[in-house]
Structure 1
Amino acid sequence: MGPEGRHAIVIGGGASGVLLAFQLLKTNPSDLRVTLIEKRPEIGRGLAYHAGNPEHLLNVRVTNMSALPDDPEHFWNWLCAQPAGPLCPDPYCFVPRHAYGDYLADLIAPLRSRDGTQGLTVVRGECAAIRENPSDVAVTLADGTCITGSTAILATGHDAAAPLLAGHAEPWASPADAGIDTNATVLILGTGLSMVDYVLSLLRYGHQGRIVAMSRRGLLPRAHRRVDPMRFAESEIPFGAEIGPLLRWFRRRIELHVAAGGDWRGAIDAIRPFTQRLWQELPLSSRRRFLEHARAWWDVHRHRTAPEVEARIGEALAVGRLTVIAGKLATVTPDAGGALVRYRRRGQAETSELQVGAIIDCTGIVRDPGASTNPAVRSLLDEGRARIDPLRIGIDVTPDCAIVNRNGSPSRRLYAVGPLTRAAFWEIIAVPDIRQQCAELATRLRGRDS
């Protein structure tokens, strides 16, 4: 394909890619076409919204999950228009993850091109390499196909973990598909939202064995509540402060809010509009300290579960179906029954043993881009067209989402959106943040002359 007119190539067809493609094409520009490259058979689902366990609920309320920043009721209205109805009583509820995948697919469907000359073309395949030339970009797929365009945008989402070790099972597949013995002890690494989803899957598939979840601190996600909103005045927020004074200020504000009858959730929600600026103005040493010491606490308060999910997990804990351990793996020795695991509890020197039938790594996504198995990301890093940020949590991008090369120069044709840009924006893994980022980048790209 040649780059006649303007041609944006979006690499990744999960939520980030679909939201960007929609924003680029929503005004039906005649001089812009978009090619969306996705290796999965369906677009809009990615790791987060694939059709799986119906008990896997969104961890953000319907009212905050609109794909459109300027139309907050869009998702709710779509739900209300479905044959089965909205699935829940009002926009402050939580619906199954797969429903959001259906929503994104419907959002993008009217934009698909009939002849490939304008609108959206979806190409099923895996991007193997990206090359930036003076007048265009060339994207090569794993099958050798080459697509050229005027810009390329990485929207690869969360990078799934590297090849599995002995005894490990795939966290994104169902326990039945993974062949997990229903009577075996299952060890889940991580105690966040992915762990919660996997426990629900195990229970749904009739698992009878012990479920053990382990993380460094043993913290579980808190749950959502309907709370009165709180407001921060921008002038009262200590932008640019070191992390210590900043967190002390924030804790004090939460204490005052709770003392006045409020809920801590209101304070967390109120700081959300400012978190990207707070992150960007934090000194590098403070960012590092936050990641090491405070991130886990922030995550369990910020990324919350639906109340009905909290109830299921609470029940599993109460009856002993689920055990949570604060500790760290020491060794994993494969054996006939799965693996013998040695671990060290937090604050203890001696190790404990646990015989497990399977190990599920729910510590989340690959956080170090240097460990990425995504060939598109790898090609950019290997050829110096991208570089890893100093904290190794993402690739370097400018505030305008342009990818920065090995020499520190921003590209004019290569961009990135979504979780890959967390080094620059930090809060960029949830739809409310990504939809805004995609809308702003699309506006810039639509306005360019080249």
Structure 2
Amino acid sequence: MTKRQIVIVGGGVSGTALAIQLLRRGDESLAITLIEPRADLAEGIAYSTTDPVHRINVPAARMQLSEAEKGDFDKWYRQQPAFLQDSAAQWQDGNVYPQRRCFAAYLREKLNYALKDARATFRHIQDSAQSYRTGQLVTQEGLTLLVDQLVLAISHPAPLIPSRFQAFSTDPNIISDPWQEGVLQTVDRQAKVAIIGTGLTMSDVVASLTRQGHRGTIHALSRRGQLPRTNLSGDYEDYSLRPKAILPVTVRGWLRDIRENVDIAAQQQLPWQLVLDDVRRKGQVIWQQLSTTEQRRFSRHLRPWWDVHRYRLAPQVAAVVDDLLATGQLQINAARLLSVRGVSEQLELTLGLRQGGLTKLLVDKVILTTGPAHQQLIASQPLLTSLQSQGLITADPLGLGIAVNPQSQTLSPTGVTQPNLFVVGPAARGRFGELMGLPQVAEHAEFIAKQLIAAQPSSLKERCPSHLN
């Protein structure tokens, strides 16, 4: 009853990775509780998909829990039956791009391995966190847990339905959540489809529809009409940005510097992807050196361009997208959606084209892939609204998630640090910038684990009767 109680809310990749790191470092004085409604841990939105065409977007060799374990997932995967059963996993350059659910299985195995040698205790409570007050957390099922340190490893909020579709929210021809199990199977093979968004989720949807034998025209639209770039194929040494005596302090300055490095790399017959990979590795440092004004400038003007170069497609998915573009079955529209109206059993979309003029699309199905509504994160979960009502958390200035300090401890609306309340994973990216993909998420989990182990909670509360624990 005197153990320090660390409670992690959320059992996706971030929460599971944190639990593993704590088990590796914690002693017998530590009790770890992970609250996650799913039966299987490490399966957030991305890694719970069962569609075989949904693949990790980077080679398995670049997925790891820590720098010391570089290449571990690749080695593990090549020894699994799933690798032998998936003939498309290995690309022409020898790299493997496993189905996403394989990485979740890998993390669960790492968790089980950590448990064997752990001195700390661990339990997974299959429930949802509902509220928190003065060191006690209440779950949806009514369980009350003692908390010394609380970590929010929360998932992305659901996408918002664009305003143009609000009047059609119950229309069966609009798919607002393409990740819902089996929902894409409702799309007729000959249906004319419009996909709102042209990012990674759009590409996943296109790959899924193609696997199902879809033959109808697919119109994908976004304001810029930009597609994710393809991952680099081949074996290259890491590229390092050319050192400068004075680093840029503005977004414009960094853009100029990156372009210069791309030109230098090209002169050496090196692809641009290597330059962007080094920017990604240095991303958190670069981001935190920018002023809030410059961060806002990036989010408003450059983030869409960064996203399509940073978050790239697995070559297997890119091949599907390229084939459909070549045949004209997939058409990309750089346009703004102006209006939607029902026409018989179809939907008519009026688009304002980026290059000028209007066009109309008459489609059978609309699939929304606009991405998570990060600005709605706190309102999306009862626990977060509970914490906000007590002044324990607030949204970050950019509306990307929750405001935290450099140690990833939450801040009150007036900027006061909450020493025993942490955020791990993408919800902290307003502070850290690059926190959407691995290995950054795994590195952040390792960073938070070290903070938690080193921290001294303000006081270990007098324990309540055991039936509350």
User: Which of 394, 411, 424 pairs up with 2:418?
Assistant: 411
Shift of 1:308: 2.2
Q: Which residue of 2 aligns with 1:308?
A: 316
AA partner of residue 41 (structure 2): I
User: Which of 249, 252, 266 pairs up with 2:257?
Assistant: 249
Q: Which residue of 1 aligns with 2:197?
A: 190
AA partner of residue 450 (structure 2): T
CA gap 1:230/1:64 in 2 versus in 1, 3 angstroms: closer
1:387 aligns with 2:394: yes
Instruction: Specify every segment of 5 or more residues in structure 1 that has no aligned partner in the other structure, as ranges.
Output: none
User: Which of 11, 14, 27 pairs up with 1:13?
Assistant: 11
* CA distance in structure 2 between the aligned counterparts of 1:419 and 1:385, rounded to whole angstroms: 19
Shift of 1:123: 1.1
Q: Which residue of 1 aligns with 2:218?
A: 211
Shift of 1:448: 2.8
Shift of 1:58: 0.4
Shift of 1:235: 4.1
* CA distance in structure 1 between the aligned counterparts of 2:244 and 2:395, rounded to whole angstroms: 33
* CA distance in structure 2 between the aligned counterparts of 1:240 and 1:216, rounded to whole angstroms: 29
Q: Which residue of 2 aligns with 1:376?
A: 383
Q: Which residue of 1 aligns with 2:432?
A: 425
* CA distance in structure 2 between the aligned counterparts of 1:333 and 1:102, rounded to whole angstroms: 44
Shift of 1:378: 2.8
| Structure 2 SS opposite 1:107 | helix
Identity %: 29
* CA distance in structure 2 between the aligned counterparts of 1:422 and 1:435, rounded to whole angstroms: 13
Shift of 1:338: 4.5
AA partner of residue 81 (structure 1): Q
1:122 aligns with 2:120: no
User: Which of 143, 146, 164 pairs up with 2:144?
Assistant: 146
Question: 2:65·2:443 contact (CA, 8 Å) conserved in 1?
Answer: no
When structure 1 is superposed on structure 2, of 104-113 and 359-368 the one drifting more is 104-113
Q: Which residue of 2 aligns with 1:105?
A: 108
1:22-421 equivalences in 2 (<5 Å): 22-27=20-25, 29-85=27-83, 88=89, 92-110=95-113, 119-131=121-133, 133=134, 137-162=135-160, 165-167=169-171, 168-169=174-175, 170-174=177-181, 176=183, 179-225=186-232, 226=234, 228-232=236-240, 235-236=243-244, 238-334=246-342, 336-348=344-356, 350-369=357-376, 372-421=379-428
| Structure 2 SS opposite 1:222 | coil
* CA distance in structure 1 between the aligned counterparts of 2:296 and 2:235, rounded to whole angstroms: 32
| Structure 2 SS opposite 1:431 | coil
When structure 1 is superposed on structure 2, of 413-422 and 73-82 the one drifting more is 73-82
Question: 2:159·2:370 contact (CA, 8 Å) conserved in 1?
Answer: no
* CA distance in structure 2 between the aligned counterparts of 1:122 and 1:362, rounded to whole angstroms: 32
Question: 2:26·2:120 contact (CA, 8 Å) conserved in 1?
Answer: no
Shift of 1:218: 0.5
AA partner of residue 308 (structure 1): Q
* CA distance in structure 2 between the aligned counterparts of 1:138 and 1:351, rounded to whole angstroms: 56
AA partner of residue 333 (structure 1): R
Provide the TM-score with structure 1 as the length reference: 0.91
Instruction: Specify every segment of 5 or more residues in structure 2 that has no aligned partner in the other structure, as ranges.
Output: 458-469
Question: 2:222·2:336 contact (CA, 8 Å) conserved in 1?
Answer: yes
AA partner of residue 293 (structure 2): S
CA gap 1:239/1:363 in 2 versus in 1, 3 angstroms: farther
1:307-340 CA distances to partner (integer Å, 9 max, x unpaired)? Answer: 2221111001111221111111122234552532
AA partner of residue 35 (structure 1): T
When structure 1 is superposed on structure 2, of 327-336 and 434-443 the one drifting more is 327-336
Question: 1:112·1:121 contact (CA, 8 Å) conserved in 2?
Answer: no
* CA distance in structure 1 between the aligned counterparts of 2:112 and 2:354, rounded to whole angstroms: 50
* CA distance in structure 2 between the aligned counterparts of 1:366 and 1:59, rounded to whole angstroms: 22
When structure 1 is superposed on structure 2, of 156-165 and 204-213 the one drifting more is 156-165
Q: Which residue of 2 aligns with 1:441?
A: 448
Shift of 1:216: 1.1
Question: 1:175·1:205 contact (CA, 8 Å) conserved in 2?
Answer: no
Shift of 1:423: 0.4
Question: 2:64·2:70 contact (CA, 8 Å) conserved in 1?
Answer: yes
Shift of 1:341: 1.9
Question: 1:330·1:342 contact (CA, 8 Å) conserved in 2?
Answer: yes
Q: What is the alpha-carbon root mean square deviation over aligned residues? A: 2.4
* CA distance in structure 2 between the aligned counterparts of 1:383 and 1:20, rounded to whole angstroms: 26
AA partner of residue 132 (structure 2): I
Shift of 1:263: 0.8
AA partner of residue 221 (structure 1): P
